[in-house]
Amino acid sequence: MACAHEAMLAYYTQSTLPNSPSVAEQRRSDAMSLPNHIMQTQVTTSAGPAFKVLSVRKEYILLSVLGTSRDRQALLQIDGRSHDRLETAKGAFLFDISAFFRAPR
């Protein structure tokens, strides 16, 4: 156990601090580009366009960037794949969440 602790201590001693300007700028850049990446995953389903996401958090990030929030949510099966349908003041959004259910067990 001491060996793992020593390895982590060495890592943190030599790594860039999480609040350093370079790390903070990279995180800001990543956060700004995430909604664009999500929008590029749009696919057409029999129920309309859907965005492919890897987590529920990313659904809410996209809604936030679009200036809206969830009013209601439903889990649907569309074309044999799992989807979240989030209803908002700006309309309904579909998210293909089938990747959630493909994790190794």
Taking residues 3-24, report their average pLDDT: 64
Question: Looking at the domain assignment, is residue 82 inside a domain?
Answer: yes
Residue 39's nearest CA partner among 20, 58, 11 is 58
Of 77, 2, 84, the C-alpha closest to 50 is 84
In a domain, 72, yes or no: yes
Compute and round to an integer the Cα radius of gyration of the chain: 19
User: Does some domain include residue 18?
Assistant: no
| Region 39-60 average pLDDT | 88
**Is the residue at 8 inside a domain?**
no
Does 16 fall in a domain? no
Query: What is the rounded average pLDDT for all residues in the chain?
Result: 81
Taking only the tens place, the pLDDT of each residue in 76-105 is: 999 999 999 999 999 999 999 988 877 554
Domain presence at residue 15: no
Query: For the chain, how many structural domains are there in total?
Result: 1
**What is the C-alpha separation between 34 and 5, in angstroms, rounded?**
34
Q: What is the pLDDT of residue 77?
A: 94
Q: What is the pTM of this model?
A: 0.66
Q: CB-based contacts of 52: which residues, under 8 Å, 6+ apart?
A: 41, 42, 43, 95, 96, 99
Is 9's pLDDT higher than 90? no
The range of the structural domain enclosing residue 81 comes to 42-105
